[in-house]
Each structure stands twice: as C-alpha cells, then as structure tokens.
Structure 1
Amino acid sequence: MSKIRINWKRLLVLFVAVFLMIQIIGSFFFYELAVKRGPKEFLQKNTDLEVSDQTMELFLNGNWIDWVAAQKFERLTLTSRDGLKLSGYYLPASTPTDKLVILNHGYLGNAKQMGLFGQHYHSDLNYNIFMPDARGHGESEGDYYGFGWPDRLDLIDWTNLLVKKIGPDTKVAYHGLSMGAATVLMASGEDEIPHQVKAIIADSPYESVYQLLAYQMNRMFHLPAFPLLDSTSVLTKIRAGYSFREASVLNAVKKTDVPILYIHGESDTFVPTKMAENLYQHTSSDAEIMLVPNANHGESFALDEDKYKRTMDQFLNRYIDLN
C-alpha cells in the first residue's frame, strides 16, 4: 500500500488563496449590495421594513404630499469638499423669522420626502425649512451612499451657506430620519459645527455603520461580521473614502454639546431600539428619548403623530424659542 504524502505548505497556500478570493468577491458583492448607488431590490421583501396600513397610507397619500407639491421651493446647490454637486430645497417661513430647520432623509430616500415633517415646521411653527438630497440620492451627485459619515460635513457646509443667506443670528435645528438621524448626530460631534445649531431631533438612528451592517448581515444572511464586513470596509475606504468603523454616531454623541431628542419605535427590528437607548445613555449634552410602542422603523410619526409633535415642539421651545 503506497503512502500518500500531503504537501502541507502547498495546501496552506491554496487555502489562503481561496480564502482571499472569497473575501475579495464577497467584498465587491456587499459593496454593490449596500454602498454603491442604485436600486436595492433586496430591501423590497425585507420583513423588518414592513409597516402598518396606517403608516403606508400616510407615506403614500398623506396631505403633506399635496403640501410639498404646492410650495415654491428655491433650489440651492453646493459643491462638496470632494467636488460633488449637491442639491437641496429651501422654503422661507411665511413671516420673517430667525428659525431654521434642516431636514435630513434616510437611506434610499430623497429631500422632499422630509416634507412629512417639513409641513409642521413651516405651517405650524413658522420655520424656514431646508431639505437637502444626501450625496448619492435624489438630484445630488455621488456614486455611493455615505451612511451619514461624509454627509455630516456636507450638512455643516449647508448650514454655513444657509446662515450666510438668512443671517448670523439664525437658530438652527437639525431633524433627521434613520440615515438622516445618523448624519445629524455625526455632525454634532464635529468641532466645526456652527454655533447656530441649537437642537437636534434624531428619529431612528443607528450607533455606527459597522454595527448596523453587522446586524443586517447576521439578520439577512446569517453571517458573522468578521472578516467579510471588515474587508468590505477596506474596499469602501478605497472607493468611497470612508470606513465603516470610523463612521460612528456613538463617538460623536459622547463629545457633543448640542441638545438631542431621540425618537425610536419600540418594535424596530431594522435598527434595533437598543441602539437609540445606548446613544441616549452616552450623550454628553442635554438629551431626551421618546419610545413609541408598536412602531417599526421610521413609523413613530405615523403611529403617534400627536405625541411626536407635542414632544418635538416642547423640545424646540426649550432650546430654540427660549434662546
């Protein structure tokens, strides 16, 4: 009987080569899936994004849609620090005011969808409102989604442009939904955030891009984050200029001095409620949190509009109107 000799060195090299090939192919797959600009069909049948009939009716047929269509928005443009042409929509208040809200939409959304909130700010609270398209969304340039990290600097630059337009005494509120909530919170931790920013409302934020994608990778594909998510992060750094770990909301709120109101659905399975609770617990500034029973991701306004508006108004009154 002949003995079979195993060349362990060659076997190890083969194993490493196959492993690296899987990581490279997997990284490109997940980059295309989540980061590259374009339609994301995998989200269309995601049960974690299912919402109630009440929510769907508001999103698709609410009177805010006609309100947005009837407004004469001024189209503004901004060149980002890395050369992208960004777009946004400005609507002055009905009567002159120094109050401004910048409304930031979620992943795969667009600026005018934030009219859902903008109607209340403009019609009931007499705010100037501005709704930007995040890079890679709507009319803004960009071939990738930033998940709030490069967008945080875009938001700061938009703020400076609008303060110059309205006046140095402008009092600014940031209001963001999902990715938009991450954007406003990430901006809050920057040293260069304009002093005119007085209050932040963060609806359904995540703790960091890495934690969000790790959660989704496990939830949708039953895969561990390491090493595939880390290799995708390296590719994202090369192609889009940021890594998943550096894009941390938690690190930002640990050093912010801007008051924050967190809002989150208690039944959110797309961005777990515990993420907002952890952010709240680690926020260095004045902070409040409102949890809405039975609300899934982004449903809080639809399911308890009266409480949402009342809590939001009281918060804004404390930090905008009384300052």
Structure 2
Amino acid sequence: MKKLKHKKLWVSLIVIILLVCLLFTGAGYYFFTVACVPGEKSFLSSSSKVIKKSDPLYREKIWFKKTAKEKWYMTSADGKYKLDANYIPHKNSSKTAIVLPGYMDTKEDMGEYDALFHELGYNTLTPDPRAQGKSEGNYIGYGWPEKDDVKKWINYLLQKTGKQQQIVVYGLSMGAATAMMTSGLKLPQQVKVFIEDCGYTSVKDEIEHEAGVLYNMPAFPRFPLVEILSGINRLKVGYFMGNASSVNQLHKNHRPMLFIHGSRDNFVPTRMVYPNYKATKGPKEIWVALKAKHAKSFSKHPKEYKKRVATFLAKYIK
C-alpha cells in the first residue's frame, strides 16, 4: 500500500513538472514572438508621420523628405536576405556616416540623423536592418547578426565609393548596440569613429529589463523565461542572448567612441551606458542628456547634440 502511494506521488510530481515545463516553454515561445518576430508591437509608441512645425527637428525632417536618395541593395552577411538602404551623397565628400536604425525602425525614420551628418559634410548610408523596413528577414537579431551585415555594408561602401573614405558608424537604440557590437570586429582602417546613442549592454540584459518593466514580472519567473527564450532564439536566430554582448565587443575596440544616453531613459535604462563606456579601450567621451527619454536626446537638446557630435568627429576625421 505504501509503495502504491509513493508511486502515485512520484507520478503526480512528474506530471506537475512536465506541465510546468510545458507552461514555461509555451510562454517562452510567446515572448520570443513578441520580442523577435517583426510586426506591430503594442509596447512601442506609434509616432505620427505628419511633420509639425513645432517639432524641434522640423527642419531636418523636411530636408530629408525632400532630398533625393539613391537605393542601394546588398545580400546579408549570411547570404540569406536582400537588404535595402538609402544612400545620400554630399557633393564630392570622402566622409560617410553609416546610420543604424533602432528596434522596428526603418531608414525612413532616421531622416533627422541623415540631415545632421549631411550638414556636417558627410555622405550617409542608412540601411534597413534585416526583418525591418524593406529588408528581408524572419527575425529581429537585436544587433548580433546585424553587426556582420554592417561590416559587409562598410566593405560595399568602399567598393562603390573608393578607398579614400573616412567612415563613422552611428547607431540609435538597437542600432547603437549594433554599432558597439560591430566595433569589436576586424574592420577596414577607413572606419575612424563610432557614436552610440542609448544602446544596451547585452541582448539578455535588455530582454530581462523589458520583461520587468513592461510586464511587471518578478525575478521568478522572469529568469527561467528569459533562459528559455534565449534557447529558442539560439534555435531560430543562431545565438544565445547572453553571448550578444556590447560590453564584450567593446573590450576589443580601440577606435574612438562617443556615448550618448538620456537621463530619463526607462526603455534602455540609463545605467547601461556606464559599463559600455568603461568597456571600450579607445578614446572616449560620454554625454548623459538631461531629462531626455529613450532616443530623445537629439530632439530634447538639438543644438547641444549637434555641437557634441561635430566636436567629437572633428578630433578624429579630417
């Protein structure tokens, strides 16, 4: 009789464990879809496409809207996807800024940044990341597979415009993380400078933060869910999220980098800029923009933003 009771107890425990595992796996797939599959995201604020005169960056956005763009196309670094980009030449300039959009943003959302660099005398190359805008792709890579695409864009740019180029890689939000991750690669000597605005320390850190902030999820079940999501990401996208680290890549970087972050950033928390800044090995500067929310440092402080970017670039690009 006791053996029968013990057997039933063990069967019950095994069933409960299996049910919990199924529940967590199902939840992991759900959050993977929310985080990594392109589509409408309820947690992102929808920005109006109407450009209002009250917008502090009205002039830059109108310039971009009216400016002719060349369409450039390239196959992704892994050979799977056709990627799409805008190229805006600046007379006979041999300076080019590669401008990297954020999460679920497109090259068309980066017009004010194209305008900023154009005003400083740069050509701009602004690609849609894989699975965003008009670029092909099944999953958002949060910068890790995209870093290899950026390296290929750099080489493609040099092939099309010549070896005399001086290149700055600029990124916003996910694009900033992509820029930092790219900085740890072996790159052509024409890449002179990096500028990152509100990038995260690692994909895993950012996903854990979003789970806590967006879903008010406590440490448990957040920790096992993120681990399961990371495993699914390994199967679908090709990497574990903890390995996609801006900090680790920055340890390999010796080029100059300007770090920008809003002091009121709750989406990619302001605290993340400090380990990123500490990690890089090259010349560096940091600016925490007062009272700026996520990806709003430029619109909050347009004159100071331009001045800081221009001053930093002038130190390293002729």
TM-score (norm 1): 0.91
| Equivalent of 1:183 in 145, 155, 178 | 178
Code of the residue aligned with 2:16 in structure 1: it is F
CA shift, 1:277, in A, is: 1.4
**CA distance 1:56–1:5, change in 2 (3 Å):** farther
Alignment match, 2:146: 151
Q: Which residue of 1 aligns with 2:135?
A: 140
Paired with 1:314 and 1:242, the residues of 2 have a C-alpha distance of 37
Structure 1 unpaired stretches of 5+: none
> 1:237 is paired with a residue of what secondary structure?
helix
Deviation at 1:256, TM superposition (A): 0.5
Partner AA of 1:119 in structure 2: A
Give secondary structure in 2 for the equivalent of 1:93. coil
User: Of the candidates 150, 159, 162, which is equivalent to residue 164 of structure 1?
Assistant: 159
Instruction: Give, in angstroms, the shift of residue 69 of structure 1.
Output: 2.1
- Which amino acid in structure 2 is aligned with residue 136 of structure 1? A
SS at match of 1:42: coil
Aligned mates of 1:73, 1:241 — CA distance in 2 = 33
The more displaced of 267-276 and 216-225 is: 216-225
Q: How does 1:1-323 map onto structure 2 within 5 Å? A: 5=5, 7-44=8-45, 58=55, 62-82=58-78, 83-94=80-91, 96-122=92-118, 124-191=119-186, 193-223=187-217, 224=219, 225-321=222-318
Q: Deviations over 1:252-271 (max 9, x none)?
A: 11110111000011111111
Greater CA deviation, 219-228 or 71-80?
Answer: 219-228
1:226 counterpart SS class: helix
Name the SS for the 1:103 alignment partner: strand
Deviation at 1:57, TM superposition (A): 5.0
Percent identity between the aligned chains?
A: 32
Structure 2 spans left out of the alignment, 5+ residues: none
Query: Aligned residue pairs: how many?
Result: 308
CA offsets 1:235-291 (integer angstroms, 9 cap, x no match): 111112222111110101111011100001111111111101121122111111001
Q: Which amino acid aligns with 2:280?
A: T
The alignment partner of 2:195 has SS state of: strand
Whole-angstrom distance in 2 between the partners of 1:166 and 1:133:
20
C-alpha displacement of 1:42: 3.1
Q: Kindly provide the CA deviation profile for residues 90-119 of structure 1, in whole angstroms up to 9, marking residues without a partner as x.
A: 11112x121000001100110122111111
- Please state how far the C-alpha of 1:56 moved relative to its aligned partner: 11
The whole-number CA distance in structure 2 between the counterparts of 1:295 and 1:23 is 36
Deviation track 1:140-187 (CA, whole Å, cap 9, x = no partner) reads 001211111111000000010001111112110011100000001100
Paired residue secondary structure (1:182): helix
- What CA RMSD, in Å, does the superposition of the two structures yield over aligned residues? 2.1
Q: Secondary structure at the match of 1:39?
A: coil
Structure 1 residue 11: deviation in Å?
A: 2.1
Matched residue SS, 1:200: strand
Distance 1:42 1:304, change over 3 A: closer
- State the SS of the aligned residue for 1:194: coil
Q: Provide the secondary structure at the position in 2 that maps to 1:218.
A: helix
Distance in 1 (CA, whole Å) between partners of 2:111 and 2:214 is: 31
Secondary structure in structure 2 of the residue aligned to 1:276: helix
In structure 2, do the counterparts of structure 1 residues 79 and 270 end up closer, same or farther at CA, with 3 Å as the change threshold? same
Separation in 1, partners of 2:261, 2:77: 32
CA contact (8 A) 2:94 2:164 kept: yes
